[in-house]
């Protein structure tokens, strides 16, 4: 794999830029979050994570006797956006790690304020998952994990082969046989498709903007850099993840792909069963706005042409009554559907006569 790639080793290491960026993002209160242009999209992304975490937590429980420990690594946990999900999944031992120390402190304080029926054991530490071996930082480095989750972050490792390899090793090496590594990343195919359609290395809409900083005719497997701007949340260098390369790297560490879905496909899979959660999480926007909406002056301040699809749906319903649907503005949907979900399963590991691992 190494030989066919531009390793991306020559460039500056971007981890410090990324850490400083995330450390600087302020923790906004609910009122400020509600005013955000991407309020519903963020809730939608959270809903997607809830669905996949619940699904894989159930698979873990299906493979372990009742009452067994449930140990999770939240790699690149940020401010702890998934803490409630872990608590709802009855995780008994949670390891939270991120490169951004300030985010990690916010994560810890958020956890301490949470109500828990049964409080899991939690470890926090700051580390660069693309450069450091996380296992050596666990209270017990021989720990066996049931689930490793890396949400919206694995793509930072694709700066170079070495970094991606290190992050994959961190995801794989403590997973017990038969258990899972799950994550979400931008879909490189979708990014390239949009770049081709735009016939420009810079494209996007009012919510997100991507600027390619690599050769888009022949992007390298590692170090295919672009700048990603998402409203007020992210403005960072990121790297394309060539999915077949991710799969190969995973296999090298004993992980086989069990699921890969774009966010629109994840939505289709869970939308009817998790309808209630869609509503409680406000993962979709009510159109036309409900008089009991999210209660801020900006309600549907976005332009009406952002809701043409909802209007069309209303027309097709051929009813005399005022229709109301759950939707996202076109621009938020475009940004949300840049992402995909993946799940890998740890294979059985044995060792050959040279002591090298053999996975089956």
Ligand X SMILES: C[S@@+](CC[C@H](N)C(=O)[O-])C[C@H]1O[C@@H](n2cnc3c(N)ncnc32)[C@H](O)[C@@H]1O
Q: Output the known binding site.
A: 45-46, 49, 76, 98, 128, 151, 156
Q: How far apart are CA 9 and CA 25, in angstroms?
A: 28
Query: With binding defined as CB under 6 A, does residue 101 bind ligand X?
Result: no
Query: With binding defined as CB under 6 A, does residue 153 bind ligand X?
Result: yes
Q: Which of 39, 56, 138, 156 binds ligand X (CB under 6 A)?
A: 156
Query: With binding defined as CB under 6 A, does residue 103 bind ligand X?
Result: yes
Which of residues 22 and 70 has its CB atom nearest to ligand X in the complex? Answer: 22
Q: What is the per-residue binding string for ligand X in 17-56, x denoting contact by CB under 6 A? A: -xx--x----------------------------------
Which of residues 155 and 294 has its CB atom nearest to ligand X in the complex? Answer: 155
Q: How far apart are CA 187 and CA 261, in angstroms?
A: 10
Instruction: Give residue number: closest CB to ligand X.
Output: 78
According to CB under 6 A, which residues from 308 to 337 bind ligand X? none
Residue 227, Cβ density class (10 Å: 0-12 exposed, 13-18 middle, ≥19 buried): middle
272: which residues sit within 8 A by CB, 6+ positions away? none
| Annotated binding-site residue numbers for S-adenosyl-L-methionine | 49, 76, 98, 128, 151, 156
Query: With binding defined as CB under 6 A, does residue 130 bind ligand X?
Result: yes
Query: With binding defined as CB under 6 A, does residue 96 bind ligand X?
Result: no
Query: With binding defined as CB under 6 A, does residue 98 bind ligand X?
Result: yes
Query: With binding defined as CB under 6 A, does residue 159 bind ligand X?
Result: no
Q: What is the per-residue binding string for ligand X in 54-93, x denoting contact by CB under 6 A? A: ----------------------xxx--x------------
Query: With binding defined as CB under 6 A, does residue 15 bind ligand X?
Result: yes
Contact footprint for ligand X (CB under 6 A): 15, 18-19, 22, 76-78, 81, 98-100, 103, 128-130, 151-153, 156
């Amino acid at each position: 794999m190494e030989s066919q790639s531009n390793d991306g080793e020559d460039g500056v290491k971007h981890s410090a830029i990324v850490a400083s960026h995330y450390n600087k993002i302020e923790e906004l209160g609910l009122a400020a979050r509600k005013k955000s242009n991407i309020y519903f999209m963020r809730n939608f992304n959270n809903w997607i994570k809830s669905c996949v975490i619940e699904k894989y937590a159930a698979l873990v429980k299906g493979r372990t006797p009742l009452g067994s420990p449930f140990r999770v690594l939240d790699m690149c946990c940020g401010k702890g956006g998934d803490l409630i999900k872990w608590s709802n999944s009855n995780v008994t031992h949670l390891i939270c790690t991120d490169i951004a120390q300030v985010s990690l402190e916010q994560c810890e304080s958020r956890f301490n304020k949470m109500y828990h029926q049964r409080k899991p054991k939690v470890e926090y530490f700051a580390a660069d998952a693309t450069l450091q071996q996380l296992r050596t930082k666990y209270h017990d480095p021989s720990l066996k994990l049931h689930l490793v989750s890396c949400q919206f972050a694995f793509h930072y490792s694709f700066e170079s082969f070495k970094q991606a390899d290190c992050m994959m090793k961190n995801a794989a090496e403590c997973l017990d046989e038969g258990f899972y590594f799950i994550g979400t990343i931008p879909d490189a195919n979708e990014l390239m498709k949009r770049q081709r359609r735009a016939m420009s290395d810079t494209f996007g809409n009012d919510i997100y903007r991507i600027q390619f900083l690599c050769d888009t005719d022949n992007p390298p497997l590692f170090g295919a850099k672009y700048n990603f701007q998402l409203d007020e949340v992210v403005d960072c260098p990121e790297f394309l993840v060539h999915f077949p390369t991710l799969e190969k790297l995973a296999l090298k560490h004993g992980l086989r792909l069990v699921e890969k879905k774009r966010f629109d496909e994840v939505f289709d899979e869970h939308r009817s069963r998790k309808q209630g959660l869609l509503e409680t999480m406000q993962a979709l926007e009510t159109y036309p706005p409900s008089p009991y909406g999210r209660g801020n002056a900006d309600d549907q301040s976005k332009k009406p042409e952002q809701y043409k699809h909802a209007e069309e749906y209303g027309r097709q319903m051929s009813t005399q009554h005022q229709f109301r649907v759950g939707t996202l503005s076109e621009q938020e949907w475009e940004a949300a559907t840049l992402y995909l979900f993946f799940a890998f399963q740890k294979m059985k590991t044995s060792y050959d006569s040279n002591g090298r691992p053999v996975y089956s």
